[in-house]
Amino acid sequence: MKERNFFNVVTVAIIALWLLIFAFIPNIMMFIISFFERSETGFFDVAFTLNNYKSFFSSLYFQVLFNSFKMATITTVLVLVIGYPFAYILARSNFKYKSLLAILVIIPYWTSALIRTYAIKVLLTTNGIINTVLENIGIIDAPLNLLYTEGAVILGLVYTLLPFMILPLYATIDKLDVRYIEAAGDLGASRLKVFMYIIIPLTVPGIIAGCLLVFLPSLGLFYIPDILGGAKNLLIGNLVKDQFLLARNWPFGAAVSNLLMIIMAFMLFAYYKSAKKINSKVL
Amino acid sequence: MRKQYLLVLLLVAFSVLTISGCKKKNKEVVNVFNWAEYISEDILEDFEKETGIEVVYSTYDSNESMYSKVKLLKGSGYDLIFPSTYYIAKMIKDGLLAPMDLSKLPNVKELDKALLNQSYDKGNKYSIPFMWGITGIAVNSKFINPDNVTSWKDLWDAEYKGKVIVQNDIREVFHIGLTSLGYSGNSTDPKEIEAAYNELVKLYPSIRLFNSDSPKVPLLNEEVYIGLVWGGEVFMAAKENPDIKFIYPKEGAIGWGDCYAIPVGADNKDNAYKLINFLLRPDISARISEEYGYASPSPKSREFLPKDIAESDILYPSQEEMNKIEFQNDVFESIIVYEKYWEQLKTVN
């Protein structure tokens, strides 16, 4: 028993140390730097200021934030609309190997996300497969401008983030107690009513988890707008990157990234609260 | 339990011993910090064979990350670095570079005089050109008559709406805005930068995409017909599709390059000079140039290059075009002004 404890302590200690050195301390440093002033010759001047946070609250950066949130919201809604029926059919099917089907959802994602994004680019280009096929069957006369549009960015985000919606939904729908549905049916509820009042409320934790898992990364996946959107729109991820690498304004970059983290923490907190509330009420 | 402590202790002791053991070699070294994919290993091996000096080689992928490391180490740790022209000016100002002793570099005589004594380092006191290139206008002659394109201003032509590509590079994009108004591409005047921004706002609807990684792909796919693209990419694109042409704008092409520089705290300066002198040799410079598609600063190196590269007027501009090129220089604190308008350009429009 003692031996075992020692092993536990060592493993936990290694991981804790790892997180402390490579996650916690850098974050604390970012937090501190965000209150410093930009320096001409160094990385920052040690002088307390709130200006970095103040300058974020300008119309320009609000527009950046708004654009990023707009893209993330559209993506999340689309992924939910596509992912929910998929997860539902998958989880409720009587197929013997349904967990195998769930694994099949993940397998394409073993390839690098960057490579898959370039693959979408190949499909959408002027002389790519989609345009060639449409032209050959006579639907269009001239190739469509599919690439480097907002639509292409949304397509890329939806495709990349779909499994993050399907998997949590699959997990909650799979665990759904069939007796609730049967009881509702016995009491005369129509299929639509069962879905609206029984199935959806019971799968809310899955929906929220899926939405968070889609929404948060879609704020930060700056390479998809860069590759599929032609780098024409600045999103919040690009902004942070440019402040560090281009403008050499570490304090402001740190402040933006802290604000983003606060927004994310707030959303996770809301999720935790709602999940707790739903669990105590229903389950 | 004791045993396990002992084991951990042994492991730590063992690793400490092996690490310190490695450092004990008393051998001549030169610590090189260079861009990834710039000098191939066989060239470094040739240098090691010739001089017996061991090359310790590490790489970076942006000027900023190189600058951060050199700055944090206060100019020690590396013996030879390769900053871009505009970073040379910044690092001189920060006092991070050691003066170059040209008497230790006999092969400097091989360099093209037109590339020396540029605004970023007058008199080449701290730096010597390593590899360079230009950015100009690429045109697909299947769609646009190249004779009609003579100036950066032609990119603004309403006819090319939605068919323009530009580099995803803040300095180069503002360079065309500034020089089309007659200002310097290295302007630090906020009013001039704002005027350039107002021009770029008009260009923005024409731009199909910003791309610096591989602008030849949208050119070859005929997604775009015209744009601001660097010479090496146009050279490669023209090989695949001869319709693609390169045009020197009458305002002068944008010149950029990377330079040899020695950090102020370098421990093995003499070895760094030996390596620079070796890499300056025309035959070696030609090998680097051929492998990665940049232009060599040594005219003689062209004798060692395949004909199509050596005679390409895209990679090696004529003397007349050479004189018009404006090399990128540091804009110091004005980068903040540039950055602000760049954000605005990509956000509001």
For testing the chain B interface, which of A234, A235, A241, A244 should be mutated: the one with the most B CBs within 10 Å? A234
CB contact under 8 A, A2 and B71: no
How many residues are recorded in chain A?
283
Residue B331 belongs to what domain range? 133-255+327-348
Per-residue pLDDT of chain A (283 residues; tens, 9 = 90+): 566 788 888 999 999 999 999 999 999 999 999 999 988 777 888 888 998 998 888 888 989 999 999 999 999 999 999 999 999 998 888 877 888 888 888 898 888 888 999 999 989 988 888 888 998 898 888 888 889 999 999 999 999 999 999 999 999 998 888 898 889 989 988 989 998 898 998 898 899 889 999 998 888 888 888 889 988 888 888 888 888 877 788 899 999 999 988 988 888 888 788 777 766 554 4
Q: How many domains does chain B have?
A: 2
The answer to whether B162 contacts chain A (CB < 8 Å) is yes
Residue by residue, DSSP assigns B19-58 as: HHHHTT----EEEEEEESSSS-HHHHHHHHHHH-PEEEEE
Model confidence pLDDT, tens digit, residues B49-72 = 999 999 999 998 888 889 888 988
Q: The tokens of B258 are what?
A: 């990377």
> Which chain A residue has the Cα nearest residue B68?
A43
Question: Quick one: DSSP state of residue A57?
Answer: S
CB contacts < 8 A, A to B, total 77
Residue by residue, DSSP assigns B179-217 as: HHTTS-TT---HHHHHHHHHHHHHHGGGEEEE-SS-THH
- The confidence score (pLDDT) of residue B100 equals 94
Same domain, B170 and B124: no
The residues of A whose Cβ lies within 8 A of any Cβ of B are 2-3, 6, 40-43, 60, 63-64, 67, 125-128, 145, 147-148, 226, 229-234, 239, 242-249
CB contact under 8 A, A126 and B344: no
Which ranges constitute the DSSP H helices of B37-189?
A: 41-51, 63-72, 85-93, 170-180
Q: Is residue B143 part of a domain?
A: yes
Which ranges constitute the DSSP H helices of chain A?
A: 2-19, 25-33, 51-56, 59-92, 98-106, 113-124, 129-136, 150-175, 178-186, 191-193, 200-202, 204-220, 223-228, 236-245, 250-282
Same domain, B120 and B170: no
- The confidence score (pLDDT) of residue B21 equals 46
Q: Is residue B320 part of a domain?
A: no
CB contact under 8 A, A42 and B223: no
Q: What is the CATH number of domain A59-282?
A: 1.10.3720.10
B51: phi then psi, degrees, rounded to nearest 5: -115, -20
CB contact under 8 A, A126 and B209: no
Same domain, B16 and B53: yes
> Which chain A residue has the Cα nearest residue B344?
A60
Report the share of chain B in percent with pLDDT over 70.
93
Same domain, B236 and B283: no
Q: Output the CA torsion B24→B27→B28→B34 (10° steps).
A: -60
The Cα–Cα gap between A282 and B166 comes to 56
- The confidence score (pLDDT) of residue B1 equals 47
Q: Which of B120, B127, B83, B124 is nearest to B326 (CA)?
A: B120
CB contact under 8 A, A60 and B347: yes
Q: Is residue B263 part of a domain?
A: yes
Model confidence pLDDT, tens digit, residues B117-146 = 998 999 999 999 999 999 999 999 999 999
**Mean pLDDT, residues B80-103:** 93
Q: Output the CA torsion A113→A115→A117→A122 (10° steps).
A: -160
Residues 6+ apart with CB under 8 A from B283: B301, B304
The single residue listed with the structure tokens 């002004």 is: B337
Q: The tokens of A54 are what?
A: 């103040």
The Cα–Cα gap between A245 and A249 comes to 8
Amino acid, single-letter form, for residue A255: A
Q: Is residue B174 part of a domain?
A: yes
Same domain, B69 and B147: no
Same domain, B18 and B123: yes
> Which chain B residue has the Cα nearest residue A146?
B223
Same domain, B273 and B251: no
Q: The tokens of A152 are what?
A: 């292409």
What ipTM score was computed for the predicted complex, to two decimals? Answer: 0.80
- Give the three-state DSSP class for B164: strand
- Give the three-state DSSP class for A169: helix
Minimal Cβ distance to A231: which of B210, B336, B348: B210
Q: Output the CA torsion A239→A244→A249→A253 (10° steps).
A: 50
Mean pLDDT across chain B: 90
CATH of the domain at B51: 3.40.190.10
The answer to whether B7 contacts chain A (CB < 8 Å) is no
- The confidence score (pLDDT) of residue B287 equals 93
CB contact under 8 A, B347 and A2: no
- The confidence score (pLDDT) of residue B265 equals 94
Question: Quick one: DSSP state of residue B222?
Answer: T
The Cα–Cα gap between B283 and B280 comes to 8
Same domain, B43 and B74: yes
The single residue listed with the structure tokens 């350039």 is: B196
- The confidence score (pLDDT) of residue A178 equals 86
Same domain, B291 and B332: no
Minimal Cβ distance to A63: which of B1, B4, B348: B348
CB contact under 8 A, A63 and B68: no
Q: Containing H/E element for B17?
A: helix B2-22
Q: Which of B206, B74, B100 is nearest to B153 (CA)?
A: B206
Same domain, B126 and B137: no
- The confidence score (pLDDT) of residue A7 equals 87
- The confidence score (pLDDT) of residue A140 equals 85
Q: Is residue B322 part of a domain?
A: no
Q: Is residue B321 part of a domain?
A: no
> Which chain B residue has the Cα nearest residue A43?
B68
Q: Is residue B275 part of a domain?
A: yes
B227 chain-A contacts, CB cut-off 8 A = none
What are the residue boundaries of the structural domains of chain A, listed by start?
59-282
- By DSSP bridging, strand B29-35 and strand B54-60 are parallel
Q: Which of B164, B168, B170 is nearest to B204 (CA)?
A: B164
Residue by residue, DSSP assigns A214-249 as: HHHHHHH-THHHHHHSTT-S--HHHHHHHHHHTS--
The answer to whether B45 contacts chain A (CB < 8 Å) is no
Same domain, B138 and B45: no
Same domain, B75 and B158: no
